[in-house]
Chain A
Amino acid sequence: MSDYKDTIIDHYKNPRNFGTLDDADVSMDESNASCGDMIRIQVKFSGWIPGQARNDKNEPGLPRHSVPRNDEKVIMEMKWQGVGCAISTASASMLSEKVVGMSKDDLEKFGEAGIVDLLGGEINPGRMKCATLAYRALLKIFDSND
């Protein structure tokens, strides 16, 4: 079973960072319409200026600069939930460990090729949508909440 390496089975059976983040900065849902797979990813960004109140909505009276610029955001923590196949589950689980410390730039550089590498270097082209489900959600997360 070339696509089902031991690491994939391990992450599938014991998914890492599965759950919810109470103080998430962004939550993002992503699905594969044709196969019914769904994922919700929550992340906490670093890049906040320590000791200052957060002001995501730019409310008057609070300092605006407490919201980090998009290119400064770095993922501090990621949690995820969802239903999916072994490939999408393992990919989300592996990414949840890999993306800590990554900026949008880092994630884009890591790319789909990086995911294929994480999964053992070989993914059936028909399963790339499964493999990249969590990745696509993460890219959207960086683009939201600007």
Chain B
Amino acid sequence: MFDVEEIRKDFPILKRKIHGHDLVFLDSGATSQKPESVIKAMDDFYRNTNANIHRGVYELSVESTRLVDEARGKVAEFIGARNEEIIFTRNASESLNLVMYSWGKDNVKVGDAVLVSKLEHHSNLVPWQELCRETGAELRIIDVDAEGKLKISGAEEQSFEESGLNVKLGSFDKLVDEKVKLFAVTGASNVLGTLPDVTGMIKTIKSKSPEVTVLVDASQMVPHMKVDVKTLGADFVAFSGHKMMGPTGTGVLWGKKEILSKMRPFLFGGDMIGEVKITGSTWADLPSRFEAGTPDIAGIIGLGEAVDYLEKLGMDDVRQHEKELIKYALEKMSVLEKEGLVVIYGPRDVEDRGGALAFNVVGVHPHDAAQILDNFGIAVRSGQHCAAPLVTGFGVPAMVRATFYVYNTKAEIDYLIEKIREVPKVFA
């Protein structure tokens, strides 16, 4: 197991003071902090190597191209994929939109259904709402129970219709049939930390409907636990680089080669073409076909470095560390809950959840709670966390969310608990 105090030295930002206090950064679910090695790799690139990729025969361009290829190889190995199956994007949202535009528009039609869950981040909900509205396909949503776990069986089915979009809300077993062409589901909730049994659900749905294509939004998964696309059973996996210690502006789409190679590009331009004539063009092979224009070269190199950093820590240990933190945080928060100071949302069993803790301070709006905590140097997020249907489904307009990563400590959780007690006093 790694030594957290040693790890903390690798993250320059953790030395910062916020309003005179040590920074306690509990918002890695939104974006993680970056280790020195990632920052340095990007800095080195701009100082020593900077040139565009793929288009030059000169040394710098050759080196740049090699660095991007190496980073692609690192990401591929990290998730058990082949290099040409790794598409670099700006973020997970772009990865998900790529699937919607390049695969969805050609494969989903009226009479079909797209299945998602109520846990989805807006980026894995809104594209499918739009696709279903345009095509006349039905949007099916797996509901959540009071703990924020997916309802696998038995729930009453509800139907909704608005501006041409037909929505069914219910339990997994009732929503799965041969009409479902796409199952797009999160591997870990960014709000509640819920870890749905994605592998189990994929097995069930593929046995009932062998033609179904499965997309996993792994944005809150890949940074926090071992993900192997060979055993996951999905056809697409989307995640962002900046939540796993990489720089902002980096995201990844993994897709099975046999599916990707049949898809049309959705962005056109430089680098993604085969042959161009004035009367038309052909497309480049994978992965270039889906990477039009100059990519974020330095960012991709930084992402490769982030993968190295995570590999060095070991993803099983990363998960173990976060499990211990969330277990500790839940124990401490339960005390505040018993005192009537807070309400906690999400599963209580650490086996069922990742390192996201959603809560509210009783009688205090989450924005106020977050701002008061900020005055003590604690960075937590407040709002709907890009998951409005999920959050409002709990009968509240918004929630406070603390998310943990490798550099967080139990002492920071103690400090959070201590300062949560201060929050209601401001309004007393």
A residues bordering B, Cβ < 8 Å? 1-4, 9, 12-13, 33-38, 83-87, 124, 126-127, 130
Contact = CB atoms under 8 A, between A and B. Distances in A.
B25 to A, nearest CB: 16
Nearest to A4: B426
B392 A87 contact: no
A90 to B, nearest CB: 10
Nearest to A2: B375
Interface in B358-385: 365-368, 371-372, 375, 382-384
Interface of B: 365-368, 371-372, 375, 382-384, 386, 388, 391-392, 396-398, 426-427
Contacts of B365: 84-86
A35 B397 contact: yes
Contacts of B386: 34
A127 B367 contact: yes
B101 to A, nearest CB: 24
B372 A36 contact: no
A71 B425 CA distance: 45
Contact of B397 (A2, A9, A38): A38
Contact of A37 (B371, B372, B375, B397): B397
B367 A1 contact: no
A127 B371 contact: yes
Nearest to B386: A34
A9 B427 contact: yes
A1 B426 contact: yes
Contact of B383 (A2, A34, A38, A86): A34
A35 B427 contact: no
A86 B368 contact: yes
Contacts of A4: 368, 372, 426
Given A84-B365, A86-B427, A34 B397 contact: no
A34 B397 CA distance: 10
Contacts of B392: 36
A35 B383 contact: yes
Contacts of B366: 35, 85
Contact of A87 (B368, B383, B427): B368
A4 B388 CA distance: 27
Contacts of A13: 427
Given A85-B368, A127-B367, A35 B382 contact: yes
Given A1-B375, A83-B397, A35 B426 contact: no
A36 B368 contact: no
Nearest 8 A/B pairs, CB to CB: A36-B397, A85-B365, A85-B367, A36-B398, A35-B383, A86-B368, A85-B368, A34-B383
Contacts of B427: 9, 12-13, 86
A68 to B, nearest CB: 35
B381 to A, nearest CB: 10
A1 B397 contact: no
A35 B367 contact: yes
A35 B398 contact: yes
15 contacts: A4-B368, A4-B372, A4-B426, A9-B426, A33-B388, A35-B366, A35-B383, A36-B384, A36-B392, A36-B396, A36-B398, A37-B398, A84-B365, A126-B371, A130-B367
Nearest to A35: B383
Nearest to B425: A1
Given A35-B398, A86-B365, A127-B371, 4 more contacts: A9-B427, A34-B383, A34-B386, A85-B365
A34 B367 contact: no
B273 to A, nearest CB: 38
Nearest to A37: B397
B140 to A, nearest CB: 25
Contact of B371 (A34, A36, A83, A124): A124
A36 B426 contact: no
B21 to A, nearest CB: 14
Contacts of B426: 1, 4, 9
Most buried by A among B366, B371, B375, B396: B371
